[in-house]
């Protein structure tokens, strides 16, 4: 068996592949992984500001210890250096840039009546700078950044009160930026409620606590909040679109044994459950059996289901990094006990052990288009590696370019298959803090940032070789990939 045989470029048929006119080529970051300035401009702490070591296996303590290192507190200082960084994005030719609004810059504690004007002004200036360069902002309302107070005082999305707090925040920013931002998403990778309930939902669940009732109740609150965000977007933003955003790396059965096949399907539904509700507007039939078998009663208020039905998301944003493989007997609901699943012998891996699977990208685009018949937006795809500056000052990252090229060819195949894809934003066009591990060493950027795991570094920016590769791809609307 040969690694990556399934994805080899040897029989490439590239005739007729093309990206649409006005395809949104871009890059994506999240406020907490890039901005820093965690206490500046009146910002309050968010959940990641109280986390060390990343959101997957890291350590969360609500009391932030002075003098200790927290990666999000300074991050790459995008808060002060965004003009320089946007100039790099413009030089690459990017048509759009995805970031999130840090909720706690706008409502520092999450439950105030009035927003923080200084925080609002920051994003006004950021969006103006993007628009000045002809770059369309693509904005996520909540990307693992719940105000810390909403977790300490209200236990996160477990509490129905968060719907009203989120609605106030969403209305505030939608009306303020409605003339500047057309593409919105409500919740980043909300299907991670099962694997990282704290970062995704601000839900503290102990190791032994039966997690599922809490997860499904909190999910219901999020569905109502998402529907309200769609409603207000349509009322307040002329021509605005509010998308859902999920992590949708596909899941393959480990073997063709029917148990592996059906359990993989059930595991897949654990994620598609979120897009099923938010894009189709109703709970899927299979939810009833899960709730019955786990003794779950989801409390709903009159009008909730009608709201969810009336305000479905306009498009499906998703992240794609890799595929995973499932063997019967591995856990399906709650945690998986390891995010990578069973080993796939056909695929090579990134230095962080993530299987590289370009064809899986085409597969998932088709799966999602067939299921929802709504536009897709690839809002995260990227390659994390430990880049180093060579003696001559250059940074060679051929593996990143290879990953980029192969994934884009498969995306073009998916478009030829009939998938409607609004755009593609590479994850981390500039090096940022890793969400999962809190490291700087795991770099995704086309632009290098001199910052290290212990917080040291000059923050100087420098183009990697991949910078020029992406520039050429955008400059030819992808045609260079097919030559």
Structure tokens given for 426: 């590479």
CB atoms within 10 A of CB 375: 17
**Residue 189 touches ligand BG6, criterion: CB under 6 A:** yes
Nearer to ligand BG6 (CB atom), residue 31 or residue 163: 31
Site pattern 423..452 for ligand BG6 (x: CB under 6 A): ----x------xxxx----x----------
Nearer to ligand BG6 (CB atom), residue 188 or residue 410: 188
Is 189 a catalytic site residue?
yes
Residue among 188, 191, 325, 369 that touches ligand BG6 (CB under 6 A): 188
**Residue 318 touches ligand BG6, criterion: CB under 6 A:** no
Q: Which of 35, 189, 263, 413 is labelled catalytic? A: 189
Q: Which of 129, 263, 380, 413 is labelled catalytic? A: 380
**Least distance to ligand BG6 from the beta carbon of 51, Å?**
13
What is the CB-side half-sphere exposure of residue 71 using CA atoms within 13 A?
A: 28
CB atoms within 10 A of CB 221: 23
Can you list the positions of beta strands (E) in 354-453?
Answer: 376-380, 421-427, 447-449
Pairing status of strand 421-427 against strand 447-449? unpaired
Q: Which residues pair with 25 in a beta bridge?
A: 424
| Dist CA 308 CA 291 (whole Å) | 19
Is 420 a catalytic site residue?
no
Structure tokens given for 418: 């009939």
Q: Which residues pair with 190 in a beta bridge?
A: none
Instruction: Give the residue closest to ligand BG6 by C-beta.
Output: 436
Nearer to ligand BG6 (CB atom), residue 72 or residue 172: 72
Residue among 99, 149, 312, 319 that touches ligand BG6 (CB under 6 A): 319
Give how far the C-alpha of residue 79 lies from the chain's centroid of Cα atoms, to the nearest Å: 20
**Least distance to ligand BG6 from the beta carbon of 232, Å?**
23
Give the SS3 label for residue 271.
Answer: helix
**Residue 384 touches ligand BG6, criterion: CB under 6 A:** yes
Residue among 142, 159, 219, 247 that touches ligand BG6 (CB under 6 A): 247
| Dist CA 297 CA 227 (whole Å) | 21
Nearer to ligand BG6 (CB atom), residue 130 or residue 199: 199
**Residue 30 touches ligand BG6, criterion: CB under 6 A:** yes
Site pattern 46..85 for ligand BG6 (x: CB under 6 A): ----------------------------------------
Could you tell me what percentage of the chain is helix, strand and coil, using 3-state DSSP and rounding each to the nearest 5?
Answer: 40, 15, 45
What is the CB-side half-sphere exposure of residue 328 using CA atoms within 13 A?
A: 9
**Least distance to ligand BG6 from the beta carbon of 24, Å?**
18
Do residues 71 and 111 make contact, with C-beta atoms less than 8 angstroms apart?
no
Do residues 430 and 88 make contact, with C-beta atoms less than 8 angstroms apart?
yes
Vertex 167, ends 435 and 86: CA angle to 5°?
45
**Least distance to ligand BG6 from the beta carbon of 435, Å?**
3
**Least distance to ligand BG6 from the beta carbon of 229, Å?**
18
**Least distance to ligand BG6 from the beta carbon of 412, Å?**
23
Active site residues: 189, 380
Residues that bind ligand BG6 (CB under 6 A): 30, 33, 188-189, 247, 319, 380, 384, 427, 434-437, 442
């Amino acid at each position: 068996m040969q690694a990556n045989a399934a994805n080899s470029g040897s029989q490439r048929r590239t005739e007729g592949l093309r990206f649409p006119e006005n395809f949104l080529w871009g890059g994506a970051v999240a406020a907490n992984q890039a901005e820093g300035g965690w206490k500046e401009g009146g910002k309050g702490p968010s959940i990641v500001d109280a986390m060390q070591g990343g959101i997957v296996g890291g350590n969360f303590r609500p009391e932030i210890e002075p003098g200790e290192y927290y990666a999000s507190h300074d991050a790459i200082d995008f808060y002060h250096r965004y003009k320089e960084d946007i100039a790099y994005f413009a030089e690459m030719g990017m048509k759009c840039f995805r970031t999130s609004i840090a909720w706690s810059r706008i409502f520092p504690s999450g439950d105030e009546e009035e927003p923080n004007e200084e925080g609002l002004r920051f994003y006004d200036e950021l969006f103006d700078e993007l628009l000045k360069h002809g770059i369309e902002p693509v904005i996520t309302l909540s990307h693992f950044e719940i105000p810390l107070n909403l977790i300490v005082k209200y236990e996160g999305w477990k509490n129905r009160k968060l719907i009203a707090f989120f609605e106030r925040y969403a209305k505030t920013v939608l009306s303020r930026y409605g003339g500047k931002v057309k593409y919105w998403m409500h919740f980043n990778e909300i299907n991670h409620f099962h694997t990282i309930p704290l970062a995704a939902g601000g839900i503290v669940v102990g190791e032994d606590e039966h997690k599922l009732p809490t997860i499904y109740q909190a999910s219901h609150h999020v569905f109502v909040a998402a529907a309200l965000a769609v409603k207000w977007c349509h009322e307040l933003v002329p021509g605005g679109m509010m998308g859902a955003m999920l992590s949708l790396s596909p899941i393959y059965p480990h073997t063709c044994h029917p148990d592996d096949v059906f359990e993989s399907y059930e595991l897949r539904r654990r994620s598609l459950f979120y897009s099923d509700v938010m894009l189709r507007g109703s709970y899927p039939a299979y939810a009833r059996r899960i709730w019955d078998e786990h003794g779950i009663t989801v409390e709903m208020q009159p009008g909730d289901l009608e709201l969810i039905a009336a305000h479905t998301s306009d498009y499906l944003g998703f992240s794609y990094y890799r595929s995973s493989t499932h063997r019967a007997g591995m856990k399906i609901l709650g945690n998986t006990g390891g995010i990578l699943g069973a080993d796939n012998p056909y695929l090579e891996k990134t230095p962080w052990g993530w299987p590289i699977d370009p064809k899986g990208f085409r597969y998932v685009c088709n799966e999602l288009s067939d299921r929802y018949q709504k536009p897709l937006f690839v809002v995260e795809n990227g390659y994390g590696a430990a880049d180093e500056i060579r003696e001559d000052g250059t940074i060679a990252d051929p593996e990143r370019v290879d990953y980029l090229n192969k994934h884009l060819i498969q995306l073009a195949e998916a478009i030829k298959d009939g998938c409607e894809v609004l755009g593609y934003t590479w994850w981390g066009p500039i090096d940022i803090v890793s969400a999962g591990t809190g490291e700087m060493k795991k770099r995704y950027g086309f632009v290098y940032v001199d910052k290290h795991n212990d917080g040291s570094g000059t923050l100087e920016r420098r183009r990697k070789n991949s910078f020029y590769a992406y520039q050429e791809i955008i400059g030819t609307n992808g045609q260079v990939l097919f030559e």
